[in-house]
């Protein structure tokens, strides 16, 4: 945090956060307000691991449950039922409450250790967490790469979790709800949470290892977008404005909803290409394409006879 070093002498441990913020603002006028808030937080905490851990966990909880609330409200508004994928399977308030309780326990037991140890691991590989922030362009291309990396990780591990004992002992819990809803995005066993979470946290670390260039803010934007993607995919709603209608390779809720309904196929998280290339797509359209390919192959064989 070199840009705020001039402030250190003016601070002491007895000052509250807003006093630290005032000092940072006074000595670093060229920083944006968001950068001043960020710098003041780390200077106030005086323990970077603790500062990152608390900020990461609070961010995760606010984004996760905050993103789920709008879908819970939509469930009670008749207008939105036209966009519901499995209209006959509306989640009850009890189901959502029970799900939220289990997810919250998982956050504290399975996800908190990953969140807490991220800072020392990432700093070992050279992550930046000072100010000023990286440019929007740099964050955009790095996040795009991370999306592709995590999607590959998710596809293969998710597909493996659908085989034999792995499904029964680990992944079956996530399939409790055949018609998923937003809160069910992270409703999973601790082992699955850690396995798939390694892709979410490990992909940025791998990019950092390869390029030697990644900022913690980029990591946070990635986490927010990935949470939005996961919750939207489990929401059970496919809107005309959903991203998959504008970006055909995007998976979307229709892709993952079928996975929960059929219990197989559509293993990828964000994109459709792995399922398309490896013929693991699920649903009526995929079955129709397979039948057409099979019939075309039979017709071609008859012509050669």
Q: Confirm if 95 and 177 have CB atoms less than 8 A apart.
A: yes
> What's the rounded Cα separation, in Å, for the pair 223 and 67?
13
Residues 120-142 have pLDDT tens digits of 999 999 999 999 999 999 999 99
Contacts of 114 (CB under 8 A, 6+ apart): 194, 197, 198, 201
Alpha-carbon distances of 112 from 46, 222, 266, 272, rounded to whole Å: 21, 18, 28, 30
Our CA angle for 249, 115, 274, nearest 5°, is 20
Instruction: Indicate the length of the chain as a whole number.
Output: 305
Residue 4 lies in a domain: no
CA 124-128-129 angle, 5° bins: 110
Which residue, chain included where needed, has tokens 């992909």? Answer: 203
259-267 mean pLDDT? 92
Check if the beta carbon of residue 219 is closer than 8 Å to that of residue 204: yes
For residue 96, pLDDT beyond 80: yes
Residue 222 maps to a domain: yes
Range of the domain at 156: 47-304
For residue 143, is it within any domain?
A: yes
Do the domain assignments include residue 237?
Answer: yes
Instruction: Kindly indicate the confidence band of residue 296, based on its pLDDT and cuts at 50, 70 and 90.
Output: confident
CA distance 50 to 55: 8
| Phi-psi region at 18: left, alpha or beta (left = phi > 0; alpha = psi -120 to 50) | alpha
For the chain, how many structural domains are there in total? 1
Encoding tokens for residue 85? 């994928």
Q: What is the pLDDT of residue 67?
A: 97
What is the average pLDDT score of the chain?
91
50-87: burial string, b at 16+ Cβ within 10 Å, e else: ebbbebbbeebeebbbebbeebbebbeeeeeeebbbee
Amino acid 9: pLDDT: 46
- The DSSP result for 225-247, as a single string, is HHHHHHHHHHS-B--TTSGGGTS
Is residue 11, in this structure, part of any structural domain at all? no
pTM of the predicted model as reported, rounded to 2 decimal places: 0.90
Whether 17 shows a pLDDT value over 80: the answer reads yes
Where does the pLDDT of residue 283 fall: very low under 50, low under 70, confident under 90, or very high at 90 and above?
confident
Asked whether residue 6 is assigned to any structural domain, the reply reads no
- What is the rounded radius of gyration, in angstroms, for the C-alpha atoms of the chain? 23
The encoded tokens of residue 67 equal: 């993103």
Which pLDDT does position 15 carry in this prediction?
Answer: 84
Residue 27 lies in a domain: no
CA distance 280 to 275: 5
Alpha helix stretches (DSSP H) within the chain: 17-27, 33-45, 48-74, 93-106, 112-124, 136-160, 164-166, 190-211, 216-234, 252-262, 273-277, 284-304
SS3 of 250, please? strand
Whether residue 1 is contained in a domain is answered as no
- Residue 186 sits at the vertex; the CA angle it makes with 180 and 189, to the nearest 5 degrees, is 105
């Amino acid at each position: 945090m070199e840009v705020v070093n001039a402030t250190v002498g003016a601070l002491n441990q007895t000052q509250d956060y807003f006093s630290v913020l005032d000092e940072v603002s006074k000595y670093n006028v060229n920083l944006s307000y968001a950068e001043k808030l960020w710098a003041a937080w780390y200077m106030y905490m005086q323990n970077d691991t603790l500062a990152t851990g608390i900020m990461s966990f609070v961010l995760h909880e606010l984004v996760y449950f905050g993103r789920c609330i709008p879908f819970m409200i939509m469930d009670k508004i008749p207008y939105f039922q036209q966009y519901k994928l499995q209209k006959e399977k509306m989640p009850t308030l009890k189901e959502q409450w029970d799900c939220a309780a289990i997810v919250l326990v998982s956050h504290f037991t399975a996800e908190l250790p990953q969140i807490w140890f991220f800072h020392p691991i990432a700093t070992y590989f050279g992550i930046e967490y000072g100010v000023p922030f990286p440019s929007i362009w740099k964050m955009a291309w790095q996040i795009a790469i991370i999306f592709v990396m995590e999607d590959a990780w998710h596809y293969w591990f998710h597909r493996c979790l659908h085989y034999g004992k792995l499904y029964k002992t680990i992944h079956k819990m996530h399939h409790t709800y055949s018609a998923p809803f937003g809160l069910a995005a992270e409703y999973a066993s601790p082992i699955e949470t850690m396995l798939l979470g390694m892709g979410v946290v490990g992909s940025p670390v791998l990019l950092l290892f390869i390029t030697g260039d990644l900022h913690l803010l980029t990591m946070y934007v990635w986490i927010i977008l990935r949470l939005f993607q996961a919750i939207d995919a489990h929401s059970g709603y496919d809107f005309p404005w959903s991203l998959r209608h504008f970006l055909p390779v995007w998976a979307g809720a229709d892709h993952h909803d079928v996975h929960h309904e059929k219990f197989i196929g559509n293993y990828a998280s964000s994109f459709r290409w792995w399922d398309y290339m490896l013929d693991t797509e699920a649903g009526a359209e995929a079955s129709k394409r397979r039948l057409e390919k099979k019939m075309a192959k039979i017709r071609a064989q008859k012509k050669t006879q």
